[in-house]
Chain A
């Protein structure tokens, strides 16, 4: 990325001998929305605290606009944080919380009032300027925390699980809000979350972290549709796995796979050699419950063990005759709005050629 604003180069950090962040490198572009996604303990919050300056890395560099950040204490870094707990100062009113950063820079009077009013308007909290944090709801506190963090015009805004304390409806609302804010401010946002839906819907780029390292880096679509490992696939979305083996590499470079006693050909992929065990990965929405399957595609026989109506989709659990369970998720379409299954009904499961992801079986 040519206009990288924040560069993380080979960052490592250990606590009590345990490596929490391990040789981590990442470039973050101007006005980019990057999400760090991972299970708790994967090092994502530590990474954020390294950038903010609350922790010091054991090795590696952090550059902001090409300037080394490491010698600077947190208060001197042009980076601000929205804390998970919001960390609003309980003894200060909303206005004074937001004005805190400006007052430290000795701003007074009309200019201060104007900027605070602007920030509050940006997060739609103008009517609440005289309240104490304790008198606000969770969503309102969240907005104040954002206003307080952006008033110093940081180059990068760090958000540490900012939505985790909100209920589902409010969370979705704030996701849209944050996205809008990021577009309006035009600065880079680095969001830490363990909520994959949040990560998929908000980010320009997504960093899936595992054990302090990048497991996969890409756009949400890339990560969801082409996960590069079973761990990433498992972490993001639901999956169905079909175990198999590479039977041979065909002349045109494609691979012939053996799935039990069935065979199919898939596009060639580096790193896969004949004889190697693989897993075919299919999302529930990729599976088709069919009467007639495509020529050359495998088909699996089983029976419906559970169906649940979800409004726009019909979700089913299928017990295959060979003993494994699959999850399928089918959209209602206009041709047949009433399609449904009985529990116990026999079905055949297949998918559209090319929708499968072939991964080496690491386990």
Chain B
């Protein structure tokens, strides 16, 4: 009885989480423009989407920014995590506090504060402002992911490598980076997703010259149902599905080593 309740609870929640997405995906293949009833299978909305030049351009922009932001944030974040895990310095706690605040702060605060900065400093709103903003809100996540991984290390691993004759560079190349690889890939994927997902920050810090996907979608659906958006959304759902599974596989790989200590 208890088991049935629990199963029902899970099913209910997952139904709530998934039903809207399933309907969205179904409608992207539905010949009925408004998704009122099933009028047969069609791919016409995908074609319409591909034919919408401004939508496609926004998609290209979004992917490009996401790749750049994820790469930069992972790189900077990993270096920061490695540096901070091994190098004690005054203001370390302040640094951690800033990171946590950045991570916890509502997107909208980050968005407008960066907008103010860009305008005051005189960076025109467009690709660069967008990229800088995305790197900034991704950074805490990469630092946290990589730091968590570093903390899992037996601190004597590095001593052991030195003891056996490894130089700093060899330790980095042979021990630290291989052990960090799953964390690096996972945080890259997370940043990529965060960047693609972001509506709030992007809507403040990009300009008309550089339209990105979430903003394009937002302005398209504000007024009503757009079947091209359904098609695009289906692709994005598929993409996130792949990314989640990929990151899970990365976590699996880590377990293959067995306990780290």
Do A and B touch (CB < 8 Å)?
yes
Residue among A76, A101, A152 with max Cβ neighbours from chain B (10 Å):
A101
Q: Are B159 and A54 in contact (CB under 8 A)?
A: yes
Q: Are B259 and A87 in contact (CB under 8 A)?
A: no
A91 and B178 contact, Cβ closer than 8 Å, known pairs A74-B159, A83-B156:
yes
B228 to chain A, nearest CB (A): 46
A80 and B159 contact, Cβ closer than 8 Å, known pairs A87-B154, A91-B257, A134-B257:
no
Q: Are B160 and A75 in contact (CB under 8 A)?
A: no
Closest chain A residue, CB of each to CB of B253:
A91
Closest chain B residue, CB of each to CB of A93:
B257
Q: Are B159 and A81 in contact (CB under 8 A)?
A: yes
B79 within 8 A of A: no
Chain B residues whose C-beta falls within 8 Å of the C-beta of A53 in the assembled complex: 162
Closest chain B residue, CB of each to CB of A77:
B163
B94 to chain A, nearest CB (A): 22
Q: Are B159 and A100 in contact (CB under 8 A)?
A: no
Closest chain B residue, CB of each to CB of A49:
B159
Q: Are B160 and A81 in contact (CB under 8 A)?
A: yes
Q: Are B159 and A83 in contact (CB under 8 A)?
A: yes
B119 within 8 A of A: no
Q: Are A91 and B179 in contact (CB under 8 A)?
A: yes
Contact of B164 among A54, A75, A84, A85 (CB under 8 A): A75
Q: Are B163 and A134 in contact (CB under 8 A)?
A: no
A74 and B163 contact, Cβ closer than 8 Å, known pairs A90-B257, A104-B170:
yes
Chain B residues whose C-beta falls within 8 Å of the C-beta of A52 in the assembled complex: 159, 163
Closest chain B residue, CB of each to CB of A76:
B165
Contact of B165 among A81, A90, A132, A152 (CB under 8 A): A152
Report Cα–Cα, A65/B157, bound state, in Å.
Answer: 28
Q: Are A101 and B164 in contact (CB under 8 A)?
A: yes
Report Cα–Cα, A105/B256, bound state, in Å.
Answer: 29
Report Cα–Cα, A34/B178, bound state, in Å.
Answer: 37
A321 to chain B, nearest CB (A): 54
Q: Are B159 and A73 in contact (CB under 8 A)?
A: no
Contact of B259 among A74, A134, A148 (CB under 8 A): A134
Closest chain A residue, CB of each to CB of B179:
A91
Contact of B175 among A73, A81, A89 (CB under 8 A): A89
Chain A, 33-74, CB within 8 A of any chain B CB: 52-54, 73-74
A135 within 8 A of B: yes
Q: Are B260 and A87 in contact (CB under 8 A)?
A: no
Chain B residues whose C-beta falls within 8 Å of the C-beta of A227 in the assembled complex: none
Chain B residues whose C-beta falls within 8 Å of the C-beta of A54 in the assembled complex: 159, 162-163
Chain A residues whose C-beta falls within 8 Å of the C-beta of B179 in the assembled complex: 89-91
Chain A residues whose C-beta falls within 8 Å of the C-beta of B160 in the assembled complex: 81, 83, 87-89, 148
A90 to chain B, nearest CB (A): 4
B261 to chain A, nearest CB (A): 6
Give a binary string over A203-224; 1 marks a CB under 8 Å from any B CB, 0 the rest.
Answer: 0000000000000000000000
Q: Are B256 and A80 in contact (CB under 8 A)?
A: no
Q: Are B161 and A100 in contact (CB under 8 A)?
A: yes
Chain B residues whose C-beta falls within 8 Å of the C-beta of A91 in the assembled complex: 178-179, 257
Closest chain B residue, CB of each to CB of A148:
B164
A162 within 8 A of B: no
Q: Are B166 and A75 in contact (CB under 8 A)?
A: yes
Closest chain A residue, CB of each to CB of B181:
A91
Closest chain B residue, CB of each to CB of A90:
B257
Chain A residues whose C-beta falls within 8 Å of the C-beta of B170 in the assembled complex: 104
A1 to chain B, nearest CB (A): 25
Report Cα–Cα, A89/B261, bound state, in Å.
Answer: 10
Residue among B157, B163, B167, B178 with max Cβ neighbours from chain A (10 Å):
B163
Report Cα–Cα, A90/B176, bound state, in Å.
Answer: 11
B3 within 8 A of A: no
Report Cα–Cα, A149/B165, bound state, in Å.
Answer: 11
Report Cα–Cα, A105/B170, bound state, in Å.
Answer: 11
A114 to chain B, nearest CB (A): 18
Q: Are B257 and A104 in contact (CB under 8 A)?
A: no
Closest chain B residue, CB of each to CB of A96:
B174
B90 within 8 A of A: no
A100 and B257 contact, Cβ closer than 8 Å, known pairs A74-B159, A87-B156:
no
B198 to chain A, nearest CB (A): 34
Closest chain A residue, CB of each to CB of B170:
A104
Chain B residues whose C-beta falls within 8 Å of the C-beta of A132 in the assembled complex: 256-258
Chain B residues whose C-beta falls within 8 Å of the C-beta of A302 in the assembled complex: none
Q: Are A133 and B257 in contact (CB under 8 A)?
A: yes
Closest chain A residue, CB of each to CB of B257:
A90
A104 and B166 contact, Cβ closer than 8 Å, known pairs A132-B257, A133-B258:
yes
A-B contact pairs, 29 of them (CB 8 A): A54-B162, A73-B162, A75-B163, A75-B164, A75-B167, A80-B163, A80-B164, A81-B159, A81-B160, A83-B156, A83-B160, A85-B154, A87-B156, A89-B160, A89-B161, A89-B179, A100-B164, A100-B174, A101-B164, A101-B165, A104-B164, A105-B165, A132-B258, A133-B258, A134-B258, A134-B260, A148-B160, A148-B164, A149-B164
Residues of A within 8 A of B (CB): 52-54, 73-76, 79-81, 83-85, 87-91, 100-101, 104-105, 132-135, 148-149, 152
Q: 8 smallest A-B Cβ distances: which pairs?
A: A134-B258, A87-B156, A101-B164, A87-B160, A90-B257, A74-B162, A83-B156, A104-B165
Q: A89-B157, A89-B175, A91-B178 are known contacts; what are 18 more A-B pairs with Cβ within 8 Å?
A: A74-B159, A75-B162, A75-B163, A81-B159, A85-B261, A89-B161, A90-B260, A91-B179, A100-B164, A100-B174, A101-B164, A101-B165, A104-B165, A104-B166, A133-B258, A135-B258, A152-B164, A152-B165
